[in-house]
Structure 1
Amino acid sequence: MYQLRCAIWLPLNEATTFAFFEDAHNLPRITPPWLGFKVLTPTIHLQPGCIIDYTIRWAGLPMKWRTLIDEYDPPHRFVDTALKSPYKLWHHLHTFRPHARDNRPGTLVEDLVTYDIGYGPLGPLAQRLVVRRQLTHIFEFRQKMIAHYLLGDRAADAVVTTPIHFTAVRATPPALKTRTGQPLPS
């Protein structure tokens, strides 16, 4: 199991920043085009228990992705967990907190993704050879597009405060669930 962490600072307030992220229809805008990301759920009211269906293209093949909103605390945080995805586990914590930078008010947007590739002993090999590189590309693109869509011609004002960082995780944090919604064993 692995964790991906990254953060970007935006010179915007929490409410404005959170509003962009809570609209799932913005996801295709901040996802690399090669993933062919499409939101299938027509009307989405983010709240705990909300289920959102997507399709992506992975290695050219269409795949369904379904997420459950586990936590929703506007404008501070929300958590989505994949019920169906290419991953054995995908748990994405999004946090938004006021943070001044150089005496300028703004919001720190932090991503913490806990994921498990599965595939037994081949999982670590896939992580090293493919997954880590792809996720780095996806989240770098995401950070650029977040700045572009939220700041427009002021996109250069955004600051990546935590570059994309991966960590191997031995124990499962107790709040994480499997695709079936059941807690994972520790």
Structure 2
Amino acid sequence: MFHGTFVYQTLLPADRYDVWQFFDDPVNLEKITKPGGITVRRGDADQKIHIDIRTAGMLLTWNALITERREPDYFIDEAVSPPFPLISWKHYHSLHTLDMFTGVTDYISFESRVPVSFIKPVLQWMFTQRKRELLKIFK
């Protein structure tokens, strides 16, 4: 088992409350995850999130739970059943007002069945794609 952390920061030209409203709806992950191929549904309670990921001809399922939330500052989601190769995943989303901008910091701690050096490039690519889409939305 391998333990890793990943941090990514995005600066958006938007009000923190507008950015919070966007991130507060997990279905918006579909808008910023490119190329497409994910479907997001809320569970019975708003804290449960179910994500279907289509990649390389496979369907992977990701179930997560919002374990902590303080509007408009941060929320934490934790994987209930992450797909292989992940064993655990805890994702802190925090928002900060920076003059006329909102800083978004994603801090992820995870455990994996493969070395961290295989996971981090995938996360870097994923969050770079998300940043590109977020900048289109909050232009």
Both structures adopt the same fold (TM-score exceeding 0.5): yes
What aligned pairs does 1:8-23 form with structure 2 within 5 A after superposition?
8-23=10-25
The structure carrying a bigger strand percent of its residues is: 2
TM-score (norm: length of structure 1): 0.67
Cα separation, 2, equivalents of 1:43 and 1:26 = 18
Instruction: Flag the structure with larger Rg.
Output: 1
* Change beyond 3 A, Cα 1:21–1:140: same
Structure 2 gap ranges (5+):
none
> Is residue 70 of structure 2 the alignment partner of residue 73 of structure 1?
yes
- The alpha carbon displacement at 1:57 in A equals 2.2
CA deviation after TM superposition for structure 1 residue 4, in Å: 0.9
Return 5+ residue gaps in structure 1 as ranges.
152-186
Matched, 1:150 2:124: no
Cα deviation code 1:105-160 (max 9, x no counterpart): 22111100111112xxxx21xx33x4322222111101111111122xxxxxxxxx
Match of 1:37 in 2: 38
Identity of aligned residues (%): 27
CA shift, 1:53, in A, is 0.9
Paired positions, count = 135
**Cα separation, partners in 2 of 1:72 and 1:33, compared to 1, 3 Å:** same
TM-score by length of 2: 0.88
Q: Is the 8 A contact 2:12 2:134 kept in 1?
A: no
Q: Match for residue 58 of structure 2?
A: 61
